[in-house]
Each structure stands twice: as structure tokens, then as C-alpha cells.
Structure 1
């Protein structure tokens, strides 16, 4: 059959008019309702992370944050129906992140600005406001979000900020922070072995140490407002330069008065260094990441505190006490060069179209309930450990009869325990959050004081209960210090310098007052035994437990009400 006969209508189909549409056809051929688009599959790495949970693990569900339709979804960890919630995010992480995100988005909408440089300092980055808000929300939902954190410019240190282009060989701020905090043990722990030689050559050396401590305590008060007014970088570099000059002047001191004056200037300079370094942590990291960063920095401080006395004793034995102070000057000079290359300005810069930071100075700082709670925690734990450092030489050497060589191992062992406890603090913060972590540290502090009290009661002439209790107390101290120092400035991003200065000043005042009261009960005959050293640590443990279990939970409950 030919092709033309096989398809007779194919030639004329295009010429025929289209058939008329009927009402029944329109009724039966209505367009389909569009179904909502199915969510796209997550990338391979996220698919492995969000896959089917293993038996016994909580299920992950995605929800949106109420009041913010543009924010990315947040992962919630839900257990089986009717069971208790498992895998909950750390205490305070959800509150801080939600509060920061909602406040930042609200301010951005009010000003009509989408640039991230106009958000609050704790929600500021270089990727845009939506990116940083999503980062904080994912952190609030419990996800580590390591990819965003690793490529976040603020996490790479000040060199990645808008303060300037990073120079070749710049050191990240996370590595620079332990060196800055170590200026304190370099100036104190390495100086202690030189006291006998200084007293033999110049006279009484206790005056230089007392003046140094007082200058460090009172020097923090002006350094905080100066760093808030002029920035962290100029105050930091000026403090390091004065530190080096003062140490060099002490090394060339011809009299005890000259030495005391140089040590006073060195204490004031050290206050500027520590205030700016702690305030920079608040500038660069959100409030819930501050304790983790401070724990890493204080771990490095513990390492320097372990090595500094040994190097000081070796230097005094080989070259004399003046070379110990010359070594301090060399350390400060190298650190000044590193900060000049790597430490850029971290304080928020406010342009004409931006909202100015909150003013009020000291009133704003002390009006914050969070500052009062966390600063009290840091002051209480520091007061207890200061009493041990002040009275332990008399108790162990004069009362219990240990040799100075054996006593030198006790602070070294305490430094090792402190390093381990700060490392443990970082892991506990990731799993439990700051409040639960502080509770564990509070129980350790109280348990250490109770062990020492039982030893003084049952075996007053034995050193082992005192040593064991000291190790347990230091374990709690390594948890409280990073949490207390970072938490005191967590709620005050615009007043970070003032908050740091008043927190440090409070620690020094409490330590000095408690130490003087405890030392008044020590007599040459040791009538009270080791109780003057043990009782302040017990009181500090009780105060820490009250703060951790009664005060801090009220603060976080208040934050939850504000968010709702």
C-alpha cells in the first residue's frame, strides 16, 4: 500500500479549523492545581549528617524560627513520642542565638540595611546578615556547623576582619590569645625565684611584688574605657611597649625604689594587655562561644605557668636575677611585633547612619544581671585559689615540714591539673552548655574543700588530704575561670572593655581582702594548723554552688521569657 493511501488525513490536518470547545470540555479539562515543590536533597555531607538516626539516637526535625520567615530552618532534636527530649542544645545557646538573630534582623529592617557591617558586633561578619544569622541559628539547633565556622572571616582572627588585609605570616587570634594571657605568669611566676637574690643585693623585695599586684588591680579600671574609646589595637600595642620598657628598667635598677617603680609600670601595662585581649574575644566571637575560646587561651596560660618558674630558677642560677627581667623585656618585644603584624582592630566602628552604642559606662555594666552573676563566679573561685597560693608555703614547709624542693612540685602539679581541666571544660561546653558545665565545676570545688577539711580534722599532720583536695578544687577552678571571664562580657558587646576591667578589678579586690583576712589567723606556732588555708576555699566552694544552682538558672529563664 502506498504511503499516501496509508495516511490519507495527514496532508489536510493542518488546514482543518480547530474543533469548537464546549463547556463540558472546559469543565473536564481544568488545569491541575500546582503541588508544593518538594524540598531539594541536602548536599552529600549534610545528607550523611541528617540521615536516618541509629537505634537509640534522637530524631532530627526541621522547624522555622517563629517571627523570622527569612531565616533558614533550624534542626530540632526530638526523641520518640512520649519520651523525654534527648540531644537538647546546650543551656543558653538557643537563647543567646535567637536573641542575637532576632535583634539583628529587627535592627537591619528598621534601618533598611542589609550589609552585615551594620549588625550587632556578636552577629557581624563579612558574608552578609542572612549568612551570619543562619550560622547562629544552626548553632542554636545543636549543629556544629563546622563548614561555616571554618570559612567565617571573624573566626580566622583579626586579620580576616575589615580592619585591614591580612599580611603574609599573620598569626590567627586563637593562637595569639594564649601568648597575650601568658604575660601574667611571665611577670609573676618567673619573678618568684629571683626574690631571694634581689633581697640579698637591693634589700626587701616584697615591696616590688606588692606594688606590682596593686598596680595590676587598679590599672584595669582606666584601661577598659580607653579600649572602648580608642580601640583595642592602640591600647594593646601601648601596653606591650610599656611592659618591655618597664622590664628593661627593672633589669637596670640600682635601688629597691627604682625596682618598685618599674614593677608598678609593668603591672599597669599588664592590665592593658589582659583587658584588651579578653575584650577582643567578645568582639570576635558570639557570647556562647566565648567560654570555649577563653578555655583554650587559659590552657596555654597554664602551660606557661608550668614552665615559667623552672626557667626563672635556671636563669637566676646561671646568669643572675637581672636576666630574668631582661627575658621579660624580650618576651614583650617579640609579642609586640607579632601583634603589630597580626592583631587588627576588633572594636565595632560606627558610621553616621548606624545606631550608636549604648552609653552609660559603669551603670550599664552593673545593671546587667548576667555580668553580676558571672563576675561573682570568677571572683569567688579566684579568691579561693589565691588563699592557697598565699598560705601554702607556710603550711607545707613550716607546718608540715616539707622541703622547698618537694613544695616546688605542688604548684607544678596544680598547673598540670589546671591544663587538663580547661581542656575538659571545652568538651563539656560543647555537650552540656555553660550552666551545666559550671554546676559540675561547682561540685568539684566544694568536694575539694570538703576533702581538705576532713584531712585537717582527721589527719592534721598529713599532707595527702590537702594535696588531693587541692587537685579537685583546681579542676573546678579550670572550669569556672573561662566561663566566668567570658560570661561577664557576654551580655555587654558595646561595653566589653569596661565589663572586662571591672570583672578583673573585682577578682583582685576579693582575692586581696580574703587573703589578708586569712593571713591574720596564721601565727608562728601554727595554733590553727592548716585551717586558715582550708576555710576560705570551703567558703568559696559554697558560694560557687549557690551561684551555679540558684543564680545562673534564673538568668537563663529570664532570657527565655524575653525571647517569647
Structure 2
């Protein structure tokens, strides 16, 4: 924690949470706003469906690769320059997408968008831990998750409205405007939270040695798996939504919003509960509560799908409860990851985000296509991915017991 934290931010804590949540929203907004216009863009620029898919793949690839470096750069040059540089690059890339008239430039600028959009979400985690002791950091992390949960619900509606009433170019001009506003807000409000004594030398050999040591740390890898893999138990349903909601549950497209509303409500509710529990119970107990909720509802979900034909009125609720359990425990696990290497919190955040991005990509490309046509297969796959998280946590829990107890005492 920065020893000068008390003098760096004098506004209410929730205001910093809003600012950091807006940085994290760049990622989902960059994807979800343009998805409603996918087909329309293809017609406008004469692109095939495969070529349009490359605009998404280029973004995700750039996002995953640069996640490895945003935090490490922030450990050397400071949090503020990396965040401002990322927003500036995102803003330029968004304008480039708006001006693109052919698939080649659109793919290129989407890749640049992906490379820059992750700076906010990665570095903001380090900013939180720079500024607050463990229990307070958990509360702020939970607030960020609550505000962040709004983005996936709002972005498709904004994108769809702009596409229908103004045209697809307006979606990227909207993102350009978002970038300008965020750059201005962070330029004026965001302090440099990395203390001068905690800066790391930017030297390639030193950097690679840090990655090697962190990547070879069993506690880090197990904690990253404990937070990232269970997320995919929920994300699997998001990836399979058109088939799951339309073909299996028989919902009309205009009814799909119920799935997203319930899931996002679960995330926001879990994050709110996580913040309320911070400093009141031991962190490892809160993690246990989250896993118990996810395990119970996953078993119930599988049992219901084995026993009955899936119906929308009951099939959506288990996913929302699962999301609640995940959001209840993930702020705590994220802080444990950051506190494993206090001198390299940016790098830890980067590598954790990279592992999560790779897991998301594997689930999207390999798992979802195999199971999306069966509610039983979806429920079983979700249970198994949550099970990976439980096993990882059970193995690492004795090794982080002292760290969680220290966090609880610091917040008490």
C-alpha cells in the first residue's frame, strides 16, 4: 500500500470506484456495442461472416496478449501513464474503426482496440491495492464489480439503438467519445498511486525473470484458477445464449434480456454482499461461502436438467445464483493474488488477467460448441469447471491461511 494514500484521494471512496469501474467497462463495451450491428457491418463493407469473425478474434487476441504487459509496465512507469496511454490508444483505434470502409482496416483497428482496452481493468486492480488496506480494498473491489456489472446489460442496447437509428459507424464514434471523456476524467482526477520507492526497473531480463518466478509460483497459479475457471461455469451460458435461450428454452429474441438481467443481478448482488462482509468475517470463510453456493446450485441445476425438460421459468435462476456465488468470492481471491507479490502487483494482475483470457478463449472455441445443444451437457460442463476452482482453492487454502488472517485483522 502507498504510504501517502490518505493524501492522494480525498473524494468519497465510491467516486474512485466509479472511475475505476468505467475503465473496466471499456472491454465489454468494445465488444457488446458492436455485436448487434455485426450483420449490418458485413453488408456495408462487403465482408463475409468469416471475415467479420476476424474482427472479434483480432480484438480478443490483442486483449489477451497485452494483458501480459499492462501491469508490468505500470510497475515500472506508474499507474497513471499506462492508464492514460491505454485510453488514448483506445480512442484513436475507435476512430479508426469508425472511418474503416474495408475489412482490413477494421480488423487492424479492432486489434489495437483490444490491445489498449485491457489497460484499465488490469491496472485498476493494482490502483485499488495501492490505495487501501485489505478489507477496504475488498469493499472498493466489490463496488467496482457492481458498477462494472451494468456494462454488459447496457452496451447491446446502446449499440442496437445507434445501429438502427444512425448507422454502424456511429457505434465506433460513440466509443471514441467514451474514450475522450474517460481520458479527460482520468487526466484530471486519477492520482499516481505507485509510490516512488515501489517502482521496478524496466529491464527485459528483470521483467522476464519476474514472469518466470510468478508463473512458476504454485500459489499464484492455483489462486488464478480458483477465480478464473469458475467464471467460465457462468460464461459458458453467455457464449451459448443463442442456442440455449432460443433453441433449448424456446425464448424469442426479445425475451433474451431476462437471462442477462438475472445473471447481471446475481453478479451485482454477490459483489454487494462481498463488500458488506469485508472485515466482518475471515476472507477464506467468505471464499468458502461463495464456493458452497456455486456447488449447491450447480448440483441442483444438473439434477433438474436430468429429471425434467428445461423450462425458462426455472432454468435461468440457477445461473443467476451461480453468478452471485462467484461475485461473492472473487474480489477476495483477486486481492490474495495481488498480495502474493506486493512489489509486483501490476504484473500479478496482468498474468491473472491473461490466464483468465486464455481460459475464456478455450471455453469459447472448444467447450461451448461441444455442449451448447444440450441443457444436461451445459449443466455438467458448468459443474466441472466450478469443480476445478474448488479443487484449486482446497489445495492452496492452507498455504494462504496466514495471509487471509492478516487481511482480516487489518480490516477489523
Deviation of residue 156 (structure 1)?
Answer: 3.3
SS in 1 for 2:116: helix
* In the alignment, structure 1 residue 350 sits paired with structure 2 residue 197: yes
Asked if the contact 1:377–1:547 (Cα under 8 Å) also holds between the matched residues in 2, the reply is yes
* In the alignment, structure 1 residue 423 sits paired with structure 2 residue 268: no
Residue 324 of structure 1 aligns with which residue?
Answer: 171
Distance in 2 separating the partners of 1:461 and 1:415: 21
Distance in 1 separating the partners of 2:261 and 2:39: 20
Deviation of residue 453 (structure 1)?
Answer: 1.0
Q: Which has the larger displacement, 547-556 or 190-199? A: 547-556
Residue 18 of structure 2 aligns with which residue?
Answer: 175
Distance in 1 separating the partners of 2:56 and 2:308: 34
Residue 124 of structure 1 aligns with which residue?
Answer: 3
Aligned pairs (5 A) from 1:124-523? 124-125=3-4, 152-154=6-8, 156=10, 173-202=16-45, 203=47, 204=49, 205-350=52-197, 360-366=209-215, 368=217, 370-522=219-371
TM-score under structure 1 normalisation?
0.66
Asked if the contact 1:373–1:488 (Cα under 8 Å) also holds between the matched residues in 2, the reply is no
SS in 1 for 2:343: coil
Asked if the contact 2:289–2:329 (Cα under 8 Å) also holds between the matched residues in 1, the reply is no
Distance in 2 separating the partners of 1:243 and 1:123: 28
Residue 17 of structure 1 aligns with which residue?
Answer: none
Distance in 1 separating the partners of 2:200 and 2:378: 51
- CA displacement 1:81-119 (0-9 Å, x = unmatched): xxxxxxxxxxxxxxxxxxxxxxxxxxxxxxxxxxxxxxx
Distance in 2 separating the partners of 1:174 and 1:199: 37
Residue 531 of structure 1 aligns with which residue?
Answer: 376
Asked if the contact 2:3–2:195 (Cα under 8 Å) also holds between the matched residues in 1, the reply is no
More helix by share: 2
Asked if the contact 1:388–1:533 (Cα under 8 Å) also holds between the matched residues in 2, the reply is yes
- Which residue of the other structure, out of 396, 400, 411, is the alignment partner of 1:551? 396
Computed over aligned residues only, the root mean square deviation of the Cα atoms, in angstroms, reads 2.8
Distance in 1 separating the partners of 2:251 and 2:404: 51
Distance in 2 separating the partners of 1:481 and 1:190: 26
Deviation of residue 280 (structure 1)?
Answer: 1.2
Structure with more contact order per residue of length (Cα contacts < 8 Å, sep ≥ 6): 2
Distance in 2 separating the partners of 1:518 and 1:337: 41
Distance in 2 separating the partners of 1:507 and 1:349: 30
Distance in 1 separating the partners of 2:9 and 2:342: 17
Give the length in aligned residue pairs: 399
CA 1:553–1:289: 2 relative to 1, 3 Å: farther
Asked if the contact 1:377–1:480 (Cα under 8 Å) also holds between the matched residues in 2, the reply is no
SS in 2 for 1:545: helix
Distance in 2 separating the partners of 1:512 and 1:519: 10
Distance in 1 separating the partners of 2:175 and 2:155: 11
Deviation of residue 531 (structure 1)?
Answer: 3.2
Return 5+ residue gaps in structure 2 as ranges. Answer: none
